[in-house]
Amino acid sequence: MLRLYDYLESGNGYKVRLLLAQLGIPFERVELDITRGESRTDDFLARNPNGRIPTLELEDGSHLAESNAIQWYLAEGTPLLPDDRLLRAQVLQWMFFEQYSHEPYVAVVRFWAHQGLLDEKGGEVEERRRRGHEALAVMERHLGDHDFLVGGAYSIADIALYAYTHVADEGGFDLRPYPALRAWLDRVATQPGHIPITRG
């Protein structure tokens, strides 16, 4: 059975949990409290030298890290990853966008809020919120005439961006100016097998 090293509040971990649930793949979840250094132990670093969750342990004992790489591995051969060459590249395009233009801003401010660090971070919070809103605006423009991010069908690109977007308000991001994005969030939440981020 697959084993997922995870942290329940993590959107990156949630991407993998949600995909596993939607594909109906059984797995064992191992909770690591990243705020207490549990992903930095020698035991865990032997599984993932970068010391981050999520990390997926495969049936043969090998390990795969990075949430979007794990998603790609799990979705191969399923309807959540297209066969078409261009559509596959577009899925990657949105997943790279998530990691470089979205997650460092939307997810980081949410994490700071959860950890009570917003006052300590000072002006950096507003700069990250500004950059986060830039990413949300990119999504809003695209979703204005697309039901899903790639090829008119739900895919792991949607999962990758849904994970932190749907809880962006926890970092102080007001989603009211983004009606197309909010409608997309509702569509994603009604997909078969959907689970909330709080479910392990």
pLDDT in tens, 169-181: 999 999 999 999 9
Q: Which fold has domain 85-189?
A: Glutathione S-transferase Yfyf (Class Pi); Chain A, domain 2 (1.20.1050)
Mean pLDDT on 50-58: 96
CA distances from 120 to 17, 109, 112, 124 (A): 32, 12, 9, 9
Nearest to 67 by CA among 27, 4, 2, 16: 16
The predicted-structure confidence for 99-128, as pLDDT tens digits, reads as follows 999 999 999 999 999 999 999 999 999 999
Q: What is the DSSP string of 131-167?
A: HHHHHHHHHHHHHTS-SSSBTTB--HHHHHHHHHHTT
Number of H helices, E strands in the chain: 9, 4
| pTM of the full structure | 0.96
Residue 199 pLDDT grade (very low, low, confident, very high; cuts 50, 70, 90): low
Mean pLDDT on 51-64: 96
Mean pLDDT on 48-72: 96
Domain with CATH 1.20.1050.10 in the chain: 85-189
Rounded-to-integer distance, Cα 67 and Cα 16, Å: 6
Bridge partners, 78 (sequence order): none
What class does CATH assign to 2-75? alpha beta
Rounded-to-integer distance, Cα 42 and Cα 57, Å: 16
Token pair, residue 51, equals 């010391």
Check pLDDT > 70 for residue 200.
Answer: no
Check pLDDT > 90 for residue 198.
Answer: no
CA distances from 127 to 9, 70, 131, 188 (A): 23, 30, 6, 29
Domain with CATH 3.40.30.10 in the chain: 2-75
Check pLDDT > 80 for residue 96.
Answer: yes
Mean pLDDT on 159-165: 98
